[in-house]
Copies of this chain bind each other. A is one copy, B any other.
Amino acid sequence: MAISFTEENYLKVIHRLSEATSEDISTNAVAELMQTKAASVTDMLRKLAEKGWVNYQKYQGVRLSAEGEKIALSIVRKHRLWEVFLVDKMGFNWDEVHEIAEQLEHIESDQLVNKLDEYLGFPKTDPHGDPIPNKDGVLPELAYSHLSDIKAAKTCKLMGVAQDSAVFLQLLTKLNLSLGAKLDIQEINEFDRSIFVSINDAAPIFISHEVAKNILVKI
């Protein structure tokens, strides 16, 4: 069955919201991420249910069906592989690739995706540390912690970010924070939950709780 870019984007958004919770996804939550109105979402959910890609009962919220999940994962796979391509092969910075990948993720050719995967050396993660589903839609499980959840001074390694926005990524770059960076947590301040941390053995600096929430680390 033919699928439109818009339908693909809806499935991707429902998938993203579903990763954070086991509850059904609300119309409003979808509307916010899709940057559209709830009324439009209701229309689309009816259509997606019709096509068998989501389970939806009015007023009850929505979940992806098995088939919908498969489609969503294939879009995520394409998005992340293209991001790797843009950074590794085209020389873009990690804060410049998300918007372009939003377009490239809709290119339809299984052959191309698999050749691209091979060309890139079957990467496990994208430039933001997010896992890349394999050909069969299986996501490698990466058990990372949010830097903001760490309770005591210890050493950890920056493995990913929880946000792709350019402003956030540019701030990290300014702080000399990139994938693989070594973080020696010196102190966690109770007052504003800021973290005093040494990055790659440099003199320690303060990182706000807001930033720490969006940094994923391996302990």
Which residues of A does B touch, CB under 8 Å? 86, 89-92, 96, 99-100, 103-104, 106-109, 111-112, 115-116, 119
Contact = CB atoms under 8 A, between A and B. Distances in A.
Contact of A90 (B106, B107, B119): B119
Contacts of A107: 100, 103-104
Nearest to A108: B103
Contact of A112 (B86, B108, B115, B119): B86
Contacts of A92: 111-112, 115
Determine how many copies of this chain the complex contains: 2
Given A89-B119, A99-B109, A103-B109, 10 more contacts: A90-B112, A90-B115, A90-B116, A90-B119, A91-B115, A92-B111, A92-B115, A100-B112, A103-B107, A104-B107
Nearest to A103: B107
Contacts of A89: 119
A106 B116 CA distance: 19
A100 B90 contact: no
Interface centre among A107, A109, A111 (most CB of B within 10 A): A109
A106 B109 CA distance: 15
Contacts of A103: 106-109
Most chain-B Cβ atoms within 10 A of its Cβ — which of A90, A92, A111? A90
Contacts of A116: 90
Of A99, A103, A106, most buried by chain B (CB within 10 Å of CB) is A103
Q: Which 3 residue pairs are nearest across A and B when measured between Cβ atoms?
A: A90-B115, A103-B107, A100-B109
A143 B108 CA distance: 35
A35 B96 CA distance: 37
Contacts of A90: 112, 115-116, 119
A15 to B, nearest CB: 22
A103 B119 CA distance: 20
A166 to B, nearest CB: 13
A119 B119 CA distance: 14
Contacts of A91: 115
Contacts of A106: 103
Nearest to A115: B90
